[in-house]
Amino acid sequence: MRAFVVTGPGRAGVEEVPRPVAAPGEVVVDVERVGVCGTDVEFFTGEMAYLHDGHAAFPMRLGHEWCGTVASVGAGVDPAWTGRRVVGDTMLGCGACARCASGRQHVCAQRTEVGIRGGRPGALAEQVAVPVTSLHALPAAVDVVAGALVEPGGNALRAAQGAALHPGDRVLVLGPGAIGLLTALFARAAQADVHLVGLDEASLAFARTLGFGQSWTWETLPDLPFDAVVDCSNAPGLPARALDLVEPGKRVVYIGLAGTPSLVDTRTVALKDVTCVGVLSASPGLAGAIEAYAQGAVDPRPLVAATVGLDAVAAVLAGDRPAGAGDGPKIHVDPRLLP
């Protein structure tokens, strides 16, 4: 089958690889749509920390935001899964440790991550093999575009939940990228008063098309009390800025990751009596994201600017914008498209 393979920093392309075979407890999925995200870019450039601490190594097959249809099942798997539309959890725990036993497999020390960690091949291919325990069925109301946005949506839902929002609460989202906009959508669904702040006027203009009229640059951000601040950026100075902006006794959520350490003065955390929440993974938020999409409480599809085939992925990871792409921050891949 055709698969996108990264062989080194800046070196990648489509290769013919053996089709996966479902091991016991696994299924093979025909991949229908895959999202490209910042983590994939970091692997492509060679900057991703996992490459330097031994959790990942080239060659790699990326792709962890995906949806598709189950094509075959391995031993011990209910055959009824065959033909079902699904998404899968990225984080695959060992299943034996205390963290996995308590439902925290996404922080299992021995976990593998689809398309990211431990050599587990990702979904930028015609097919992908995953454990059946990682699957979530997609209802008919969730199409392939929304299906491939369940994984980032689960992260964003957890960020919005971490802010513990009540109707009317004022929340500030730092960074109007894909995760920031999804977080804003979930916060709005919780009836919060949503504000966004960013550097790029084009991305702020796109946020306004989604109904977020209170989208600001740092120069225009009004001096308002914020009940929660969610840092969805990759700027190392913004975690401390978020702490400065939040009201005493309220919450800061950290979901963005910078390329260098971000410093937060814990004296400020204590003196402001602030609760700080970290979000690593979509795992506990996947079912909620699917439900929100199916019910129409959140529609993530406008975030997708273009859909390309596997042969265009290297250019996308290198920063090229597909011809005719819209204004949204997300690029999707359909592995079935041929050049």
User: Which whole-number Å values give the CA distances from 74 to 29, 87, 115, in the listed order?
Assistant: 12, 17, 20
56-102 pLDDT per residue, tens? 999 999 999 999 999 999 999 999 999 999 999 999 999 999 999 99
Q: What secondary structure letter does DSSP report for 20?
A: P
Closest by alpha carbon to 113, among 280, 263, 337? 280
Q: pLDDT averaged over the chain?
A: 97
CATH of 155-278 given 3.40.50.800, 3.40.30.10, 3.40.50.720, 3.30.750.24: 3.40.50.720
Domain boundary assignment for the chain:
2-149+300-333, 155-278
Provide the sign of the torsion angle of the four alpha carbons 310, 314, 315, 317, taken in this order.
positive
HSE of 260, CA atoms in CB hemisphere, 13 A: 5
From CA 241, how far away is CA 48, in angstroms rounded? Answer: 25
Rounded to two decimals, what is the model's pTM? 0.96
- Decide: 90 and 66 in contact? Cβ < 8 Å: no
List pLDDT tens digits, range 204-263: 999 999 999 999 999 999 999 999 999 999 999 999 999 999 999 999 999 999 989 999
Tell me the C-alpha distance between 293 and 300, whole Å.
8
SS3 279: coil
Top CATH class, 2-149+300-333: alpha beta
Please check whether the two domains, 2-149+300-333 and 155-278, share a CATH topology: no
- State residue 18 phi and psi, 5-degree precision: -65, 140
